[in-house]
Amino acid sequence: MSEPLRPLRESLTPPVGYPTALVDPRDRVATAQRIEGLLLTTGALQRGHFLLKSGRHGDQYLEKWSLLQHPSAAAEIAHALAVQSLDLVQGHGGDIDLVVGPTTGGVLLAYEVGRLLGVRGLFAEEVRGTDGSTRREFRRGFQIPPRARVLLVDDILTTGGSLQALLPPLYAAGAHPIAAAVVASRTPGLDSIEAEGRDPIPLIAGITLDLPTYEAGDCPLCAAGSPIGAPGSSGR
């Protein structure tokens, strides 16, 4: 008789100096430290000398899928975002009726945050028009109720463009986007998502990271002779 399957149980122990257990999501400082520890542990946040896809150089690299492949870590962060988002919305006398995210990482996060809040979690896909322009659409029979109070969620925020692209189909359906939440923001100081002619939508980031990049000729890591690798490739 063959042996029963024994699922691999990976240990996600953060580096020394980071919280090793769950923290209160309402403690923003402790939560950010816990999330940073999980990003480091899963390899989502890497430190070194990297040649980025833009051609610029950086000393840190953030890869969302290294986090999202670990359900326990992703679910813990989703729980923190759900608590913080609900506190924000209810603090203004509102509630959350629906959670939406963009493909692809936003699909997983919308599902989990929606599950925690007891509401549906939907996603919007990118489609290309006949003129070559792209937009987001809710397809696959998804229905957006009029006047639904909507929480936007995503993984990594740089400019906010992926979240902004969710707004036109939501407004067209008569919904009310009321808050946005992301696992990590790469843009310190960005605290809202803007839409022309609409009120700003408050933004919650589980952690905010300042990840400077450099032109090759101005890179201090190159000047120091640090070896460079391309993240996500065999040359890393």
Quick: pLDDT tens for 41-74: 999 999 999 999 889 999 999 999 999 999 999 9
Peptide bond connecting 130 to the previous residue in cis, omega within 30 degrees of 0: no
Q: Distance of alpha carbon 149 from its chain centroid, rounded?
A: 20
Q: Which two tokens stand for residue 52?
A: 């980025």
* Coil/strand/helix, residue 14: coil
Predicted local confidence at residue 236, as pLDDT? 37
28-223, what's its fold? Rossmann fold (3.40.50)
* Cα-based distances in Å from 206 to 14, 26, 154, 184, 220: 16, 11, 11, 6, 29
Q: What pairing do the DSSP bridges indicate for beta strands 57-62 and 213-214? A: antiparallel
User: How many other C-beta atoms are found inside a 10 Å radius of the C-beta of residue 233?
Assistant: 8
C-beta atoms surrounding 22 within 10 Å: 12
pLDDT bin (cut points 50, 70, 90) of residue 171 is: very high
Whether the model clears a pTM of 0.85, i.e. scores above it, the answer is yes
Domain extents for the chain?
Answer: 28-223
Total residue count of the chain as it appears in this document: 236
Most distant CA pair in the chain: distance in Å? 68
Q: What is the mean pLDDT of residues 193-208?
A: 94
